[in-house]
Chains A and B, each alone.
Chain A
Amino acid sequence: MMSVKATVVSTEVGQKSKKGFQVNATLKTAALGAVVPLILVIAWEYLSRTGVFPPHLLPAPSVICQSLMNMSAEGNLWGHIGITLYRLFIGFLIGTAAAVVLGAAVGYLKKAESLFDPLIQAFRSIPSLAWVPLFILWMGIGEPSKVVLIAVGVFFPVYLNIVSGIQSVDRKLIEVGKIYNFSSLQLIRRIILPASLPSFLVGLRSGLGLGWMFVVAAELMGASTGIGYLLVYGQNTYSPDLIISSIVLFAILGKITDSILKTFEAKALHWQDTIEKKA
């Protein structure tokens, strides 16, 4: 074992090209991250096959794979995924837009802060799911109530991060702009916005996370399409494979959308001087 380790290390040190080394490193982290899930899946498959897990409660991974394949072959799987993503996207957009407008105003203008912030904080303390009955009452169980619910969920983390991002911009950098006689608009555009971008992106990512939570809630509360609907359908038809498939789908999609934002974040913030980026 010792000797194996030693050779691995020496080949890595021997890597001259930086690029190759980086790719190697990312692959390695990815591989490391896959180890535990893989072991769990194998154990699960084994226990299902030996009958420890009753198939009517927890079907084997292979069965779930099969059911996912069947659905995608029948073609309606993509429809469900599409509608869920669509709802999430629209809700995310609306929630983010509202958060940007209000958050920027509250963060930048003292007056706006005294006017709006107490109210928004009060609304924040309402558990967002408590809105469900009201939204259904107002807008029915169609698309609008779902999208609005998602938007509400996305709004708060984005809003909070924008406000704190703007308020914590370094006074010293703002003074640089003042020395050059920047107008308020220029100050915002050229200093405050870029300086608060890191915090905004953190907000976007946690907003997206909450967005996924609320998609499920919205689709559970009455839908005829979407992955959340598949969950309910699976429950009503006693098909655990369908339920678990939906959960797996949520996991995969959530991970993908988050990675998209993460990549974007890394691209936009490459100028940051953080531990992670020191190589």
Chain B
Amino acid sequence: MLAIENVSRTFSNGETGFKNLNLSVKKGEVIGILGTSGCGKSTLLRVLSGLDEHYDGQVKIDGESVTAVHEKIGMIFQEPRLLPWLKVRENIPFGLKSDEHKTEKALKYIESVGLNGFENHYPKDLSGGMAQRVAIARALVTAPEILLLDEPFSALDAFTKMQLQDLLLAIWQQYHSTILLVTHDIDEALYLCDRILILRGQPGEIYEELTIPKLKPRGRGDAELAKMKDQIIKLLDLSQINNK
């Protein structure tokens, strides 16, 4: 479905976001991308989405080389990026074509992300986490085949976070979306992903790739997953992060 061959991204100022990435993703797979801050995760998602065409190497979706945004792509940015002139219930269906039962779907997703009662609020009147939830709903409502998520749940409290992780899982089960999830939360990656890539360094490179064979839905307190968590923490080498 998605194939990345030897992809690097070097900015015009000579800085390199990430380098020599190879990855091939099957339909319906959920890939987690873990890595320290600044190792090029957001840059990678921008390249995959087609927003950033100035990369070296090959990115292919269904065998086609990516030169612009592919219609199968959906994305949740690291920031909410809501349209300030639209109410919550207009922001959510922003990406839907006009004939797709906009209001119904919007209302359904407002419910799913727990924003009942805020339909008519403008983005300026939302909290950071609420704005992020609107952005999540806006991306999920279009049910894209490939969903790129850049730390989507990082602004949320633990409980809402779990609810939305389950929402994402439900979407995945319903549509068999292919998902690439950038996250700093190891538990989240273990809960949702089939494979976890660990990026390290600046510029970032793939340091390790872990496969999590367990079927979803998984238990949050699973002992096997807890073991993997320890392994991941070692791989991320937290001692190096601490003195950064």
* Residues on A facing B (Cβ under 8 Å): 172-173, 175-176, 178-181, 190-191, 194-195, 197, 270-273
Contact = CB atoms under 8 A, between A and B. Distances in A.
B83 A173 contact: yes
Given A178-B69, A179-B69, A179-B73, A271 B85 contact: yes
Given A172-B77, A194-B83, A271-B85, A178 B124 contact: no
Contact of B84 (A179, A181, A190, A273): A273
Nearest to B124: A273
Contacts of A194: 83, 85
A176 B81 CA distance: 7
A179 B71 CA distance: 8
Most A CB within 10 A of own CB, among B49, B51, B79, B83? B83
B55 interface: no
B75 interface: yes
Nearest to A269: B85
Interface residues of B, number: 20
Given A173-B81, A179-B95, 4 more contacts: A191-B83, A271-B122, A271-B123, A272-B84
A195 B142 CA distance: 23
B74 interface: yes
B79 A172 contact: yes
Interface string B107-138: 00000000000000011100000000000000
Nearest to A181: B71
The winner among A194, A271, A272, A273 for most chain B CB atoms within 10 A is A271
A197 B124 CA distance: 17
A180 B94 contact: yes
9 shortest A-B CB distances, which residue pairs? A273-B124, A180-B95, A271-B85, A271-B122, A194-B85, A179-B75, A176-B81, A172-B81, A178-B69
A172 B79 CA distance: 9
Contacts of B49: 179
Contact of B51 (A173, A178, A271, A273): A178
A75 B77 CA distance: 64
Contacts of B77: 172, 175-176
Interface of B: 49, 51, 69, 71, 73-75, 77, 79, 81, 83-86, 94-95, 122-124, 142
B81 A180 contact: no
Contacts of B123: 271
A273 B71 CA distance: 33
A94 to B, nearest CB: 28
A191 B95 CA distance: 12
Given A176-B94, A178-B51, A180-B95, A271 B84 contact: yes
A197 B51 CA distance: 25
Contacts of A176: 77, 81, 83, 94
6 contacts: A175-B81, A178-B69, A179-B73, A194-B85, A271-B85, A271-B124
B124 A179 contact: no
B83 A179 contact: no
B83 A180 contact: no
Contacts of A180: 94-95, 142
A197 B86 CA distance: 13
Given A180-B94, A180-B142, A271-B122, A175 B84 contact: no
Contacts of A271: 84-86, 122-124
Residue from B49, B75, B84, B123 having most chain A Cβ neighbours under 10 A: B84
Most central of A179, A180, A195, A273 by chain B CB within 10 Å: A179
> In this complex, which of A175, A176, A191, A271 has the most chain B Cβ atoms within 10 angstroms of its Cβ?
A176
B83 A272 contact: no
A179 B49 CA distance: 8
Contacts of A172: 77, 79, 81
B53 to A, nearest CB: 11
Contacts of B69: 178-179, 181
A271 B49 CA distance: 30
A181 B77 CA distance: 16
Nearest to A178: B69
A190 B85 CA distance: 10
Contacts of B86: 271
A179 B74 contact: yes
Contacts of A195: 85
